[in-house]
Structure 1
């Protein structure tokens, strides 16, 4: 069921709200396949590697930029394994592109690494022309051909 997005009528802002004066955002998650996951996000999606650490209190990890250091993803592994449950088909990282050509270039690079498109859980993405792929842990990335709002 498609519905209007009320946020689409509001202008986006590059400024953080005064009530949340954060200067960096990190989304972090554990994995038992650190090398494979980094290969997917760094070499497949094209995110630059910002920092890497090993054996810090049993943890190793890699931070990848979205873009640069202000927004980044962190993937960690622990010597005892990950306590993280498997994701659902609707746990998503959505990346919006300026057009279908950019979306296609990234989708083709991922497919060449063995990560072809999968059927989205939510049919909304297919109706918008988005391509959904899974990383080595089963977490999904949506490659949308255009921004929802700007």
Structure 2
């Protein structure tokens, strides 16, 4: 067998052993691109995709129901005086944790979609939140916090 044939055979064997390949969802990805001029900081949970989107020159939290491929209204969450930084969503889509900048301070908030309420979550000891991640049931969250020039991660149990 020639070296070229051996190399070709080896390549074919390696490719056949690699298993299924990831496949993009072009229809859905195209839909996501149409709904916002920019989208970042995705958080995926079961049938929900939360992200930060740019619309009309302003960033906002966006939630999409992957089952229906429709955006979900978030009344009371996207305030004109708040700039979202990070978002996470519970598996059932009822809770969103958001780090946002508002009134020259950075804060952590919990949004309960079923009642449309926003609750500020204090950090103890105080610090500046940067990123957040909710667990599946929406009852615990991990938050990246800056304190005294170093990064820390706090775990918080929610009611």
| Higher helix fraction (1 or 2) | 1
Q: Which has the higher contact order (CA 8 A, sep 6+)?
A: 1
| Higher strand fraction (1 or 2) | 2
TM-score bin (small chain): under 0.3
Larger radius of gyration: 2
Q: TM-score, normalised by structure 2?
A: 0.24
